[in-house]
A and B are shown apart, each in its own frame.
Chain A
Amino acid sequence: MWDGLFLKRLRKEMPHWRERGWIEADGSEAILAELAARGGLSRFTPIVFAVLGVLLVGAGVILFFAANWQEMAKITKIAVLVGALIATHVAAGLSLARPGRASGAVAHALLLLGIILFGANIILIAQIYHIDRHYPDAILVWSLGALLVACLVPSEIALVAGLLLGLLWSGFETLDFGRHIHWPFLVLWLATVPLIWRNRWVWGARATMITLILWSILTFYWGFEWRDRSLERVFLAQVVLFGFLTLFWLLHVAVRRDAVSRVADAARLPALVGALLAFLALTGRYHYGLRSGSWLEGDSPPIASAAAGWVVASLVAMASSFAAAAWARRRAGARANGPSAVIGFVLLGLICLASLSNLARGLEMVPVLGIYIAFNVLFCGGLVWLIHQGYRQGDTAIVNTAFVFFAVLVLQLYFDTFWSLADRAYFFIGGGVVLFAGGYLLERQRRRLLSRGSMTRDTEDGA
């Protein structure tokens, strides 16, 4: 669909470009012919239709069983369930063996149907035999079944299904069985990474980052008892922050390697979002024992020493993020040696210091209010730095992401710190001034970039 829109837009623009002499008439016709030959439909269209078809068939199969359950003998039920599973896999295999884009889409849709039927088999066989043990195990087995398909066939859609089922498994373990931090999910998650890398799966790369973010959110909010307002939640957020930063920098380096460029690029933005979400979590008032309306005095914070495990994990995560950032800077060469890179490293160092202060809260030597303010100032500074970097590199996704987080931070600060009408009035006036000033600076930056671009073109033309 997008290809069609693009072609339409291109047809409209071409005469104007020809008039200006940017392209030759022959060139424009060749471009249009090439795009038209690719077909009006997006490469995702057959996949979308096939997947929707599979979901409908899957729902129909389940309803068929439900409608005819009583009439079937136990052996018939099992034969139908297992038979459907075998038939679907065989049909998927036959489709895979046939060349062509359409048969490929059908094959992967059938593999997805096979995965759905494997889950239906587990659930319905458990019902037939009244097996009602630790039910998250069933979801884990389902997930492993999907990942096996992803690995052996290989199939990207099976990988995404396996990851989502893995997340569901972790969710049940955390929410229904009180798993403190469900680490086994990370083992499953890590097992998918080489698979994605080897097969260059762009959607798989996005899915793997998104499931890691969702797992982090799940653990952060539900992996701890609310009543102890545990410092462990803060330590976890810190490890997640530095972990995602490490991934972001590693992917930043990988983007420059042709072989894995697209995969790394697809995962880079979600990795940044993961880091920013963890950072945002660390700016919340409630982690510092500060109550609404009395934050200047401070509530007695939940003092506890960081367990040795958290200290080690935090230090390793910090060191990794520093090493990855330094590596990314080295690989970028002269372009990354300006003052902006130095500021980036200083910011990273300060974030590490603030995090170490959190780890040392048990010593009662570090003012909690100071850490809270430091995290908020550093988050703000980090976002400004990101916006600047995004503009420099012409990366609108990074700029937009940073702006969204900036808006969320402002909202959070508003609810966290301003309680009277006068406070709120000052807040809005101050916010307005900051926005005006920011807009002016960004516009100046944009014009400077534009003029630099036109100067470069003139120089090239002159040469």
Chain B
Amino acid sequence: MKLRIAGAIALVLAAQLTVLAVMVGRHQMTLNEGTRVILKTEPIDPRSLFRGDYAILNYDISGLSESLPGGDADWKRYDTIHVVLEREKPYWKAVSMHRNRPVLAPDQVAIRGTVRDVWSRGVIWVRYGIEKYFVPEGEGRKIERPSEGNVISIEVAVDDAGNAGITAVLLNGEPVYEEALF
């Protein structure tokens, strides 16, 4: 009886800890192996009730025009979308939108997201899973409203499957928060 209970508890713990490890491992793999891109952002509305502060990040690529050349059209809410980003100075720019992962040129990456809304004016709102950044309590405002003349941008790693993760928050191009495993 005692052995059976010990076995059951050990199995439960093993499964739950594996899930947590895979969660961290997958994310870390994206950060380590993904292509680094710099995105222009306009942070808005920090605060999390239970988890300290976070900044909600609104990127240039969050709202896309349907008139982007190439790619697919007729987007609907909740569609999966692959947005091709091309290296430009200082920020990477969206160049086309696709339903399936497209073939990429050397200076391009494709980031995967979900269509959150489609406006009648031809704007497609996309969520990539990099819209929240948690910071220590009280520091969210720094990102949310940088002082006059300062520019906040975000460095993101995009892996081959289109998954993205934030690697650093940049103030005037210099990292103020950097992500590490520990």
**Known contacts A66-B52, A131-B165; is-contact A122 B20 (Cβ 8 Å):** yes
Cα A93 to Cα B8 with chains together (Å): 9
B51 touches A96 (CB 8 A): no
Contact of A130 among B12, B20, B179 (CB under 8 A): B179
Listed stretches B82-90, B128-136, B144-152; interface member? B128-136
The answer to whether the Cβ of B15 comes within 8 Å of any Cβ in the partner chain is: yes
Cα A10 to Cα B98 with chains together (Å): 75
Which chain A residue lies CB-closest to B7? A152
Cα A75 to Cα B163 with chains together (Å): 25
A133 touches B129 (CB 8 A): yes
Identify which of B8, B17, B130, B132 gathers the most chain A CB atoms within 10 Å of its CB: B8
**Binary interface profile of B, 44-66, with partner A (CB < 8 Å = 1, else 0)?**
00000011101000000000000
B129 touches A132 (CB 8 A): yes
List chain B residues, Cβ under 8 A from A114. 12
The answer to whether the Cβ of A435 comes within 8 Å of any Cβ in the partner chain is: no
A90 touches B9 (CB 8 A): yes
Residues of B within 8 A of A (CB): 1-2, 5-6, 8-9, 11-13, 15-17, 19-20, 23-24, 27-28, 50-52, 54, 77-78, 114, 129-134, 136-137, 163, 165-166, 179-180, 182
**Known contacts A93-B5, A97-B5; is-contact A125 B52 (Cβ 8 Å):** no
A82 touches B20 (CB 8 A): yes
Q: How close is A183's CB to chain B, nearest CB, in angstroms?
A: 16
Which size bracket describes the interface of A in this complex?
35 or more
**Known contacts A75-B182, A96-B5, A141-B19; is-contact A69 B52 (Cβ 8 Å):** yes
Cα A74 to Cα B136 with chains together (Å): 12
A149 touches B23 (CB 8 A): no
List chain A residues, Cβ under 8 A from B20. 82, 121-122, 125
Which chain B residue lies CB-closest to A137? B23
**Binary interface profile of A, 136-171, with partner B (CB < 8 Å = 1, else 0)?**
000001000100110011000000000000000000
The answer to whether the Cβ of A70 comes within 8 Å of any Cβ in the partner chain is: yes
Which chain B residue lies CB-closest to A92? B9
List chain B residues, Cβ under 8 A from A122. 19-20, 23
Which chain B residue lies CB-closest to A180? B78
Cα A124 to Cα B134 with chains together (Å): 11
15 new A-B contacts at CB < 8 Å, known A69-B137, A75-B182, A129-B179 = A62-B50, A66-B50, A66-B51, A69-B51, A74-B182, A90-B9, A96-B5, A97-B2, A114-B12, A127-B52, A128-B134, A129-B165, A131-B27, A131-B129, A132-B129
Residues of A within 8 A of B (CB): 62, 66, 69-70, 73-75, 78, 82, 85-86, 89-90, 92-93, 96-97, 114, 118, 121-134, 141, 145, 148-149, 152-153, 177-178
Q: How close is B93's CB to chain A, nearest CB, in angstroms?
A: 23
A to B CB contacts below 8 Å, 14 in the list: A75-B182, A89-B12, A89-B13, A93-B6, A97-B1, A97-B6, A114-B12, A129-B23, A131-B129, A132-B129, A132-B130, A152-B8, A153-B5, A177-B78
Q: How close is A258's CB to chain B, nearest CB, in angstroms?
A: 26
Which chain A residue lies CB-closest to B163? A133
A125 touches B51 (CB 8 A): no
Which chain B residue lies CB-closest to A71? B136
Contact of B23 among A70, A90, A126, A130 (CB under 8 A): A126
List chain B residues, Cβ under 8 A from A125. 20, 23-24
Q: How close is B83's CB to chain A, nearest CB, in angstroms?
A: 16
B24 touches A123 (CB 8 A): no
B132 touches A130 (CB 8 A): yes
Cα A86 to Cα B17 with chains together (Å): 9
Cα A149 to Cα B5 with chains together (Å): 11
Q: How close is B138's CB to chain A, nearest CB, in angstroms?
A: 8
Contact of A148 among B1, B15, B133, B166 (CB under 8 A): B15
